[in-house]
Structure formats: C-alpha cells, structure tokens
C-alpha cells in the first residue's frame, strides 16, 4: 500500500468522522404513546429529514411524556433546552394570543372546514405569530373533535354539566368554556387524568376518540357524549433559539418535512378515530347523542366576548367563519 493510498484512506475516514460529528437528531417531545398518530407522523417527518439531508439531520421523538408535561416542554423550548414538540394549541393560548381563535368552541364547522382554514393563509398567519414568543410554528396536525366523557351520568343537555368537576387542559379558554356551561373546571396535566377520574377527583373530562381510548380513560368514564365542542388542532413547534443557530437550508428542510408529514398524519388520524371508537364501544362505553347542540353553541357567547376581544382576534374569527 503506497503512502498516497494510506493518506487518502485517512482523509476519507476523517471526512466520515466529520460528517458523523455534524449529524444531529432534534429532540421532540410528545405526551402521547409511541403508536399514536402524532408520534408516528413526527417520526415520518424525521425520516424525510434524514433522507433529504443525507443523514445530517433527523428527529428523535420522546413519547409518553418522557420529557415532562406540555407546560414544562413549552418553557424548555423557549429557553432552547428542547428542540421541538407536538402540542395541542390550548396550552399555547397564554403564550401566543393568535392561537386562541382555533380553540374557541364550535369555531370550526367540521374537520374539512378546519383543515381548509389551517392549510391556508390564516393558518400560516397563526404559525408566523409564534416567532415573537420564542417559538417557530412548523405545521398544524389534527386533534379530532373533542367531546365530554363522564363517570357517573351522561351529558345530554347543558344542564347536565352543571356542578360537574371537569378536567380541562391548562388553558384559560377551556376553563371559561366549562364555567359557561355551569361546571367546575379542573385544569391538570394529561398524565394525571386517569387517576383523577378513577378516584373521583374529577367527574368528567373532554377529549377526542384516540385520546379517550389510548389513555384508557374509558375504563373510568364510560359515557361519551357527542358535544363535538372543539376541533382545536395540534401544532408542531420548534425552539426559536435553536432555529436561529441553523442554516437557511436546514430551516427550509425542516419546514418542508413538517408540512409533508401532515397528509401522513391525517391518514393515520382518520383511521385511528374509527379504530378507537370501535375499541371503546366494544369495551362497554356508551356513546350518547346530544339532541340540541345549538344550546351548547349559544352558551359560548361569553367565551367569545372575553377571548376574541381585540380587533385582530375578532377579524381572525370572522375570516375563519367566512371560509367556505
């Protein structure tokens, strides 16, 4: 072996080591289990990123709340101690005011309406608003329609909510929603809800079909009432502090991979909703129809008056409602 060949081998090895040293897996947090559609979709995003960056970039998802509560993760993100997370927009309401409009009860008429709004200029505007608060909004995911589930009696009318202790996300707007219905809101992290339902700390909670099923909440609260009061989406957010250290090329790849993971997430989500409903019904959950959904809609007027209170937020609500 000639000295030139040996030198070339060392040069190639050094180059490989350099590439390996530059390779980076962004840490992403999620409170849901590994087989949940949002987790699977972020993993898919990571695969796209790895392929397109030729192994330089990727994503490692820490599922099942391994990195703490969603509230903790938001702070970690803003401080630069965490790269990315998937979160429902509810806990972001106190951080990014524009996200409030997507959480307003009954603001979206249907899943199709929600997707059209968030895939368009309104969605882009809300994502862009996050940057001044230490976050970079990458893409919206589905979170399905949220309904109430109860441990002792079903909810059929607004009157049935009166006096119930209802777990809600750590979000002022969800607290106000329960208060407007006459219930007693109890904000708490997602991971504590099962025990709270089992022990009677709360009488009810509200969430979508996959969360109701995967969390085993149906074991403690068998009445699932189809109020479908919220289509508040999930969102992929990135740390602005970390983002600003990346090249424009890497930033563009991250945005594209996130957007390209959305159709995959929606396909997984739609299938999981059907599967989850069948599973909980087979396990004995009772699906309760709500005869007069309009009375729930009418009860939300004080919530809109309180939270969509600025000209900017009122305009966002108007534009959402006018989207066909």
pLDDT at 17: 41
How far, in Å, CA of 206 to CA of 197, rounded? 12
pLDDT at 12: 40
pLDDT at 23: 86
DSSP string, 89-156: SGGGTTT-GGGHHHHSTT-SSSHHHHHHHHHSHHHHHHHHGGGGGTEEEEEEE----EEEEESSS---
**Hey, CA dihedral for 84, 190, 165, 279, is it positive or negative?**
positive
132, 148 Cβ separation under 8 angstroms = no
Q: Which residues contact 264 (CB under 8 A, 6 or more apart)?
A: 40, 41, 44
Phi, psi (degrees; rounded to nearest 5) at 284: 110, 0
pLDDT tens string, the chain, 324 residues long: the values are 544 433 443 334 344 444 444 689 999 999 998 989 999 999 999 999 999 999 999 999 999 999 998 889 999 999 999 999 999 898 898 899 999 999 999 999 999 999 999 999 999 999 999 999 999 999 999 989 999 999 999 999 999 999 999 999 888 889 999 999 999 999 998 899 999 999 999 999 999 999 999 999 999 999 999 999 999 999 999 999 999 999 999 999 999 999 999 999 999 999 999 999 999 999 999 999 998 999 999 999 999 999 999 999 999 999 999 999
């Amino acid at each position: 072996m000639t000295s030139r060949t040996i030198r070339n081998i060392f040069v190639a090895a050094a180059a490989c080591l350099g590439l390996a040293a530059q390779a980076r897996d962004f840490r992403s947090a999620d409170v849901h289990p590994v087989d949940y559609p949002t987790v699977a979709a972020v993993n898919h995003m990571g695969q796209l990123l790895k392929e397109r960056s030729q192994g330089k970039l990727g994503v490692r998802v820490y599922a099942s709340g391994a990195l703490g509560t969603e509230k903790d993760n938001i702070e970690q993100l803003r401080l630069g101690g965490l790269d990315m997370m998937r979160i429902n927009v509810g806990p972001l309401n106190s951080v990014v005011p524009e996200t409030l409009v997507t959480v307003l009860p009954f603001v979206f008429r249907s899943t199709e309406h929600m997707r059209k709004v968030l895939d368009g200029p309104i969605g882009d505007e809300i994502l862009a608003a996050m940057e001044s608060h230490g976050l970079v909004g990458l893409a919206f995911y589905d979170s399905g329609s949220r309904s109430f589930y109860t441990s002792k009696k079903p909810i059929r009318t607004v009157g049935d909510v009166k006096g119930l202790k209802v777990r809600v996300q750590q979000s002022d707007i969800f607290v106000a929603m329960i208060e407007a219905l006459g219930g007693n809101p109890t904000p708490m992290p997602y991971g504590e809800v099962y025990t709270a339902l089992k022990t009677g700390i709360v009488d009810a909670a509200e969430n979508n079909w996959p969360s109701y099923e995967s969390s085993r909440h149906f074991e403690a609260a068998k009445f699932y009432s189809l109020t479908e009061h919220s289509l508040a989406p999930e969102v992929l957010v990135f740390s602005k502090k970390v983002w600003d250290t990346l090249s424009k090329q890497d930033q563009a790849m991250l945005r594209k991979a996130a957007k390209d993971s959305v159709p995959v997430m929606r396909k997984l989500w739609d299938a999981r909703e059907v599967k989850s409903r069948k599973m909980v019904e087979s396990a004995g959950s009772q699906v309760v129809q709500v005869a007069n959904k309009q009375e729930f809609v009418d009860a939300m007027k004080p919530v809109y008056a309180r939270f969509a209170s600025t000209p900017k937020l009122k305009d966002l609500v108007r534009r959402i409602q006018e989207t066909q």
